[in-house]
Amino acid sequence: MSPNLRKDQLVLTCVSALCGLFSLFALWYVASSPDLPVRCVLSEESVAELGLPIRYGPREDDFDGKVLPVPGDRLVSLGGRSIRSFVDYTYVLADLRSRVSSQYGRLNNYASPADLTPDSTYRFVEIENGTRFVHAVFRSHVDGTLHVGWLKVLPQPLTPLAWSVLWLLLQFPIVVLTGLTYWKRPDDQAVKLFFMVSSLALVAYTGGNHWWVLASSPLLTLSFTSAAVLFPAVLLHFFLVYPAPDSQRGSSAVIPLVVYPVPVAAMCSAILCMVMARLLSSDWGPGVLQRGLQGYLSSGSSGLMEILRTGVFGYIGVAAVYFVVSMARLIRSYVGARNPLERAQVQWILWAGIGSSIAICYTLWLAYFRTDDFAFGAARAPMMAASGLFMVAYAVGIARYKLMLVDQVLSRGMWYYVLSVGLTITFGLSIAGVAIAALWREGSGFNDPLPMVFVLTASVLASNWLRDRLQRSIDLRFFREKYPLDKALQRINRSITNVLERRVVADNLLTSCCEALRVDRGALYLVEDDRQRFRLSTVIGRFNLPLQFSEDDSVLQLLMEEVAVQRVPSGASPIQDWLRAHSAEFIQGLESEGQLVGVVVLGAKSNGAAYTGEDVTFITAIGRVTGVALHCAKVHADINRLNEDVQQQARHIAEQERRIAFLQAELSHHVTDPQADGDLTEFRREAIKGTSPAIQGVLETVRKVAASEASVLLRGESGTGKELLARAIHENSPRADGPLVSVHCASLSPTLLESELFGHVKGAFTDARDARVGRFQLAEGGTLFLDEIGDISLETQIKLLRVLQERIIEPVGGSQSIPVDVRVVAATHQNLERLIAEGKFREDLYYRLNVVTITLPPLRERREDLFELALHFLRRAGERTGRRVTSIDETAMRRLTEYNWPGNIRELQNIIERAVVLAEGASLTVAELPAEMREPSTPLLGRRSEEADRPRRRALTVDVLAAPRRILVSGSSDEKSMLEDALQRANGNKADAARLLGMPRSTYYSKLKKHGLD
């Protein structure tokens, strides 16, 4: 490459980079600049009159004053600066952009800028809520009257920014692609010019879309003007040399002399006008002489702006002529194409030019007949459409007709890099667009940082997810050959780490091999535990294969020597005959620790190709990894089996220990000194058997509750021993010397129950021949146990509530109130909370009874007590029947342990009594148990795992169950601390916490809500 070409490359690349930086910096400059609700353009007439014509006036919400400016009025003063030309207007815009908050006059939220006095020095004010205003004076075009008001300072509108961002997203890839092409072929003039065109387009479109904002920056304005003026000339130059170099046509040296003089002269003239106008409009000082000089010079600035305006519209006509010439040249290139490929390339660009002609004609109509609309962005959509058509044409030419020989420039790796970087840039700009939209959306909640953070976070997460998906698609497109191996290794890795069954591991191995090698049929044999046979483990597709190999099989003997064998048409060995007989193409042994652990058999590849050395290496590698997985699966199976044996032995030992402890306790009870017994004042629980944590927790609560006078509510399933627990409460209370009177409420009608509880006087009802004392009076000084309290009628509930509140009864038919001193213990197996919701139980009575709640666990939750309970009932049944049955067979005891016990202790008692009656020897056997208990049921471990799969509350640990329960007294000062303590001990499980406190879950939930702990 010659030094001149290298120099041109560096210069043009730097220019292109500057164009890209300009477009990005211009977007930032526009986005961070304030906006005013008025639009002014270059003056249309040369007048000495002060002021700049207003083309678009503000809305009422954006203006604070008596008279609203309208189009046609002249802006005389803005921010304290006299406006004589458009340059003065740009000075004010620059001042607004650089002005900080401390340079604004401050007003409170209730003040209005229009209320300021005429002698106020404020020209820029800021209200406490952040709204800013700038002082403006304008002259009415109707009567020439001067009016004063305040224009609101606004953020830039979002629509022009969105158009510019979209343009950059579409144009940047074209610039990068043409730049790469130019660096590969610096001597190609067409590529060089197209690189210049695409780079200048960045500046021209971005600047033209926001020219009135960029006008406040001289540097940005001059850069945009230069690019916009040169763009039509460079575009024409490109079409003059494309697709064939002009050197072949004999005119390459003449083209620049014809194309560029007019644009260069126009560019220099425009730059000179803008520089001179800005100098003439400079601030010359505050004195009277300086002000007069400034006014005189500003008139010259206004004249220069008029010249510039005329020049702009004149050059638009020149650009239109250049475009017509470009299209004519494109048509000529199409007609004179040297070959079909060249004609096809030109054809797409020609169609794009014809289509863009419509948009360009519309733009010209706007420029000459709708000047104001053209000046303020009405042409951005048609120009976007025109450039979009050309980009589509270039893309088709690149993809279909190898436009500019791009396939010579972009290698596979380069394409991957370009697409990956382009994807990253696209999503970065998308996130930026969301941020800009949030910042510029007026009247929304995005002025608050919290919604802004939420929107940006959601946008980033969604964009990253979508980008990862697209990046994965790109990776798969460019590195497809690596994915089968990667997928296979990942599947085998999951097998090693997660799958612990040999069959599943084998399925993963075979599936991986078939997918990676693109094979439709395959089979896998695995060695048996005796290592004498290989049994078929899994098959894919239709294969006519034997179910197993024996160790002395000739195929296995050969595999041990060769490891892998491929079918050969001319092969005559036994293994070749075996492959042909079973329509297989490939067989390989899998080794682990020097031994053959499996055999892989594969059919033909889908493309008919032979198996390569890489395929054999792949299968060998996968086989070794699978060997490790199979070994892990075998070890895991052995460990599981040993673990089950150990657990079984541990359960057996624990059961034996419980039995020994029970027998020791029984023995010590029989040899205890009676005299010493009489002196003891320990907790009495003779009728309640069991040492499990569940029952121990209940008895601990009973021990605490018994000494108090509080009412107790016993809850639990039928047959759990609620009446025995009521007796234990009575016998351990100060009322132990008094009577314990029991009433089964469910067995009596409402009338009889009322009479039974409160008594009746003679003649109270039919058959009431004599007066009768009620159970409340019979229990005087003792305890009244009301069983199945949930079954009493509402009428009886009302009277019972009165007795509990006032400790006074009235016999049925009587009028005399009788005081009673009775402690009430109630029991039920029903859900009282549901009855309250259904209107069948009074809520006030519920809270009167539910001072302390004790819930008895069902027998299935205290299986540790089964042996003790069974022996207790066995001894009692033997005494009643006179049978000498003293033990329970081990198998029968196992059946009792495995049974679910829906009838609880009562069912156990009946089954033991039945078995004693049927027993023929000194020990109970399985034969004496009911039919549903004779067959082995689901083992306890398995049943518990099944129950764990069902949605139910988590079981309490032994440590928690064994911990002493606390009595929760409603309304007590430490009620909240007790609720919190129970919740902490139950690890946050509310159901378990309620159980620890001995109360229904619904009651516990309501108390949590009451104290704000839910």
Report the CATH number that the domain containing residue 983 is assigned in CATH.
1.10.10
With respect to residue 179, please indicate whether it lies within any of the assigned structural domains.
yes
Tell me which of 799 and 476 has the higher pLDDT. Answer: 799
Mean per-residue pLDDT of the chain: 77
Task: Using pLDDT thresholds of 50, 70 and 90, give the confidence band for residue 968.
Answer: very low
Residue 958 has pLDDT above 60, yes or no: no
**SS3 per-residue string spanning 571-632:** CCCHHHHHHHHCCCCEEEEEEECCEEEEEEEECCECCCCCCCHHHHHHHHHHHHHHHHHHHH
Structure-token pair, residue 415: 């394409």
> Which SS3 state, helix, strand or coil, does residue 633 take?
helix
Q: State residue 116's pLDDT score.
A: 84
pLDDT tens digits for 433-475?
A: 666 665 554 444 445 555 556 666 666 667 667 766 776 666 6
With respect to residue 27, please indicate whether it lies within any of the assigned structural domains.
no
227 with 363, same domain? yes
Highest-confidence segment of 89-103, 329-343, 569-583, 657-671: 89-103
224 with 102, same domain? no
Task: Using pLDDT thresholds of 50, 70 and 90, give the confidence band for residue 18.
Answer: very high
Residue 44 has pLDDT above 60, yes or no: no
Q: How far is CA 95 from CA 81, 98, 990, in A?
A: 11, 5, 66
Tell me which of 950 and 94 has the higher pLDDT. Answer: 94
CA torsion through residues 23, 28, 34, 37, sign: positive
532 with 574, same domain? yes
Task: Using pLDDT thresholds of 50, 70 and 90, give the confidence band for residue 493.
Answer: low
Q: Of the given ranges (426-430, 614-618, 628-632, 741-745), which has the lowest mean pLDDT?
A: 426-430
Contacts 24+ apart (CB under 8 A), 403-406: 403/345, 404/178, 404/181, 404/185, 404/188, 404/190, 404/191, 404/194, 405/181, 405/185, 406/177, 406/181
* CA separation for the pair 557, 233 (Å, rounded): 83
Which of 479, 496, 523 is the last residue in one of the domains?
479
Residue 508 has pLDDT above 80, yes or no: no
Tell me which of 956 and 755 has the higher pLDDT. Answer: 755
Q: State residue 972's pLDDT score.
A: 46
Tell me which of 641 and 392 has the higher pLDDT. Answer: 641
With respect to residue 944, please indicate whether it lies within any of the assigned structural domains.
no
pLDDT tens digits for 64-82?
A: 888 899 988 888 899 888 8
Q: How far is CA 93 from CA 200, 298, 491, 719, in A?
A: 26, 17, 64, 91
* CA separation for the pair 310, 675 (Å, rounded): 130
Q: Which residue is listed with tokens 């207003």? A: 54
Tell me which of 827 and 672 has the higher pLDDT. Answer: 827
With respect to residue 190, please indicate whether it lies within any of the assigned structural domains.
yes
- Domain with residue 729: its CATH number is 3.40.50.300
Residue 922 has pLDDT above 70, yes or no: yes
Q: Which residue is listed with tokens 């004179």? A: 336
Q: State residue 1011's pLDDT score.
A: 77
Residue 976 has pLDDT above 80, yes or no: no
702 with 818, same domain? yes
Tell me the Ramachandran region of residue 987: left when phi exceeds 0, alpha when psi lies from -120 to 50, beta otherwise. left
Indicate the DSSP class of residue 242: S
198 with 118, same domain? no
- The rounded percent of the chain whose pLDDT value lies above 70 is 75
Element containing residue 150 per DSSP (H, E): strand 146-152
> Which SS3 state, helix, strand or coil, does residue 852 take?
strand
In contact, 827 and 789? CB cutoff 8 Å: yes
pLDDT tens digits for 292-321?
A: 666 667 777 777 888 888 888 888 889 889
432 with 382, same domain? no
Rounded to an integer, the average pLDDT of 778-807 is: 88
User: For the whole model, what pTM was predicted?
Assistant: 0.45
595 with 538, same domain? yes
- Domain with residue 403: its CATH number is 1.20.1070
* CA separation for the pair 186, 6 (Å, rounded): 8
415 with 405, same domain? no
In contact, 580 and 567? CB cutoff 8 Å: yes
In contact, 139 and 51? CB cutoff 8 Å: yes
Tell me which of 984 and 521 has the higher pLDDT. Answer: 521
CA torsion through residues 99, 105, 109, 110, sign: negative
* CA separation for the pair 476, 479 (Å, rounded): 5
Q: Which domain holds residue 789?
A: 693-857
Which of 479, 499, 523 is the last residue in one of the domains?
479
Q: Phi then psi for 969, rounded to 5 degrees?
A: -95, 120
Q: State residue 673's pLDDT score.
A: 44
Residue 103 has pLDDT above 50, yes or no: yes
Rounded to an integer, the average pLDDT of 727-750 is: 87
Structure-token pair, residue 376: 């303020």
Determine how β-strand 105-107 pairs with β-strand 124-127.
parallel
* CA separation for the pair 741, 552 (Å, rounded): 86
403 with 423, same domain? no
In contact, 745 and 723? CB cutoff 8 Å: no
- Domain with residue 150: its CATH number is 2.30.42
* CA separation for the pair 869, 903 (Å, rounded): 14
Rounded to an integer, the average pLDDT of 180-198 is: 80
With respect to residue 683, please indicate whether it lies within any of the assigned structural domains.
no
With respect to residue 822, please indicate whether it lies within any of the assigned structural domains.
yes
Q: Of the given ranges (738-747, 862-871, 903-912, 929-938), which has the lowest mean pLDDT?
A: 929-938
Q: What is the DSSP string of 824-842?
A: EEEEESS-HHHHHHTTSS-
E-strand ranges in 211-342 read: none
Q: Of the given ranges (205-219, 370-384, 886-900, 910-924), which has the lowest mean pLDDT?
A: 370-384
Say how many domains are in the chain: 7
Closest of 944, 855, 854 to residue 898, by C-alpha: 944
763 with 630, same domain? no
Closest of 593, 595, 587, 591 to residue 615, by C-alpha: 587
Q: How far is CA 412 from CA 406, 415, 417, 475, 477, in A?
A: 12, 5, 9, 12, 11
With respect to residue 434, please indicate whether it lies within any of the assigned structural domains.
yes
With respect to residue 754, please indicate whether it lies within any of the assigned structural domains.
yes
Q: State residue 960's pLDDT score.
A: 35
Q: How far is CA 379 from CA 295, 339, 359, 686, in A?
A: 35, 38, 9, 101
Rg (CA), the chain: 49
Q: State residue 668's pLDDT score.
A: 53
81 with 183, same domain? no
Q: Of the given ranges (100-104, 285-289, 604-608, 767-771), which has the lowest mean pLDDT?
A: 285-289
Rounded to an integer, the average pLDDT of 559-570 is: 69
Residue 142 has pLDDT above 90, yes or no: no
Which of 424, 445, 479 is the last residue in one of the domains?
479
Residue 268 has pLDDT above 90, yes or no: yes
* CA separation for the pair 718, 177 (Å, rounded): 84
pLDDT tens digits for 212-226?
A: 888 888 899 999 899
Task: Using pLDDT thresholds of 50, 70 and 90, give the confidence band for residue 665.
Answer: low
The distance of Cα 224 from the centroid of its chain, to the nearest Å, equals 45
Hey, which residues does 740 pair with through a beta bridge?
783
405 with 415, same domain? no
Q: How far is CA 369 from CA 189, 361, 669, in A?
A: 39, 12, 118
Residue 902 has pLDDT above 50, yes or no: yes
Tell me which of 414 and 744 has the higher pLDDT. Answer: 744
Task: Using pLDDT thresholds of 50, 70 and 90, give the confidence band for residue 940.
Answer: very low
Q: State residue 449's pLDDT score.
A: 57
Q: Phi then psi for 73, rounded to 5 degrees?
A: -65, 160
* CA separation for the pair 823, 803 (Å, rounded): 11
Residue 393 has pLDDT above 50, yes or no: yes
* CA separation for the pair 852, 726 (Å, rounded): 13
